[in-house]
Amino acid sequence: MNPHKVAYGLGWFSIALGLYEVLEAEKLGQALGLKDKNGLLRFYGARELTAGAGILSGQTKLAPWLWARVAGDALDLVTLGTGLTPDNPKRQNATIAFAMVVGITLLDIWCAQSLSQRER
């Protein structure tokens, strides 16, 4: 896999996810059983948009933007973790989202590490 191509794909993914989080925070919060976190979800969307724009900006050093995605993934996992409680009626959705974020986090880490090595 080419880490630059993966980074470019992750940049577009960040833009798409960020737009969804900003524009549809209520819908997302309801689907995950995190209705009380709409403001936080919007903030996370802005973070995704920033990371995506940084990756797609044409800069020669992409690793810092990928590491920013990794840090954001950690925040996402903590937030999603609050929805894994037995009293959440949407716990199954939160569990699926948690697993998906774990997967994307692993891809982000791989890409960030690969780019960091190449950019030294």
Angle at 31 between CA 93 and CA 45, to 5 degrees: 105
Answer whether residue 5 shows pLDDT above 90. yes
pLDDT of res. 120: 79
Answer whether residue 76 shows pLDDT above 90. yes
- Tell me how far CA of residue 62 lies from CA of 37, 96, 116, in angstroms: 30, 29, 8
- 13-63 pLDDT, tens digit per residue, is 999 999 999 999 999 999 999 989 999 999 999 999 999 999 999 888 999
**Phi-psi region at 88: left, alpha or beta (left = phi > 0; alpha = psi -120 to 50):** beta
What is the pTM for the complete model shown? Answer: 0.93
pLDDT of res. 74: 98
Q: Where are the domains of the chain?
A: 3-119
